[in-house]
Structure 1
Amino acid sequence: MKHIFPTQRYIIHKETEKGVRQVHFSRLQLLALISTAIVLLGATLFFSADSLSKFLYQTRLTEFKQNYASVSENLETLKTRLDYLDSQILALEEKDEAVRIYAGMPGIDQDIRQLGIGGIMSEKSLFMDNLAPAVNKELVALEFDIEKLSRKVNLELISYENIYDQVKTDVDRIRAIPSIRPVRSGYLNSSYGYRTDPFDHVQRLHQGQDITVRSGTPVYAPADGKIKRAYYVGGFGNHIKIDHGYGYATIFAHMSKLSVRTGQKIKRGDVIGYTGNTGRSTAPHLHYEVHYYGEAQNPLDYFFSDASQ
């Protein structure tokens, strides 16, 4: 029977203090030794590569976590700024509605203010797909908010341009609309609406706004006009009525001193008198009424700015 590997022997000589030592290997034994060495070397390389891969993974994971924390912090800062801008735009929308009333223009429908926002821009999708899901979600929400704010700003710009065009052609009527608080300070007390009368305890309509304020506080004309009445009557005490034209009139009651006379023309912001406690009054305050074509209005709807401005 023939052997697959010819019978050959290899001798390794090694000199020692005791003499020369010989180690005999057959060809088969040598191949087995080499194969074992190769296997051990491969295993060593494999485990070394695996350890290196784990090390690199942990390094990249740590770096990613640090970057994620930084991105998250920046996103929170951006969200805070967007929330602030949104509150500012909301304030502008409220002023826009007030100015539209002031200019005699219809308000903007809420459906128009809540304009639909389009989808995320496709060219950004590849970039966003490579981000962590949490970051991706936050970026999508922020982009939505930014686009919504942009649309709101554009809508307000268009609205103010329309208001400006309207105001330019109707200055006289606008100057006649009561649009400032009649006193700079004070506490809003009994408001427009039904209430129990403090004297006879009967439920009746209170046609104005009471502002609790110290006696002697200046009272300002809320719009241009002409003094129709400026004298003392039983219930109102010292009082003033101004005819502003275009259907608007205002009444000021319980004043301590009057600084205008009947028939006098006044401008918005002029001092017309001083608060007090005259007439049917329980404490120092100003009773203020706004009328439009003879119908009492809620004065708070006409508090567009502070007094004298």
Structure 2
Amino acid sequence: MAKVKYYYDSETLSYQKIKTKKGQKIRRVLLSVLAAVIFMFLGFVVLTPVFESPKEKELKRELEFVKLNEQLHNKKIKQLETVLHDIQERDNNIYRLYFEVNPIPEEQRKAGFGGVNRYKALEGFDNSEMIADVTKNMDILSKQLYVQSKSLDEIVKLAENKEKLLAAIPAIQPVKKEDLTRMASGYGWRTDPFTKARKKHWGMDFTAPTGTPIYASGDGKIIRADQNSSGYGKHVRIDHGFGYVSLYAHMSKYNVRKGQKVKRGDLIGFVGSTGRSQAPHLHYEIIKKGTKINPINFYYGNLSPKEFEAMQKAAEIEGQSLD
């Protein structure tokens, strides 16, 4: 029941009913309806995010999960890129420099990602750009890792060859210094003991008593142990690989046979004076790729700097050779 409102009439000294006009009633009704509409709209805008449907909640969680995974993957990619960059720097500036091979160009490390759009299949989905970026970064990283892996395989082979080379190179004096009488003659022009003419002496002569042990100056394989080469008498030749051959002449007897493999320091024979020789000594030569070279540069394995300097001075004296 609607409430009846009154007002006090000062002229009649009594309360009179307030009569509402029809226009006012209509206005009040319209204002009420308008207020209700505004309230409903505000309620929809404000309350809708609070009261999400189960499907909307699931989609929202999936989106947040995708974004979180993208952040984690990007972080891991950055970490891997940092580590890979460090390896690439060492590869180019240390490993390859040491083994005297050319560094890998930057364009080769990152080649193969231009032209065709290989990520077209990822287009047309929610977050396509984000997923394509992560996939592309992973592909680039995988390619660089593959290139670096192949490079390290090459470095390993170079290291193995370097190790073999260091073991094979004739690097020690073939007669122990305590067994030597003296270093009689060096590489170069010398007086022939038989003809007295100047002649190129292709090795070094180590004077020592007959029967003094002779040792292999590097790892290798015996390719000759005979006396069928003019002037050398009983002699041994060792093929060290990498183009190096060492020759030991005028032996009294052998301690090896053809085809036998030897290590640096192995006993291969004994000093003598067989062949074209004036006195017991070892004539020692080094051949590299068919060319006879000065053995003086190959004694870093067992001589001190002072001992090497003394030997070098003795080898430079242009006297008479013993063969």
Class of the TM-score when normalised by the shorter of the 2 chains: 0.3 to 0.5
Give me the TM-score of the superposition, normalised by structure 1: 0.45
Give me the TM-score of the superposition, normalised by structure 2: 0.43
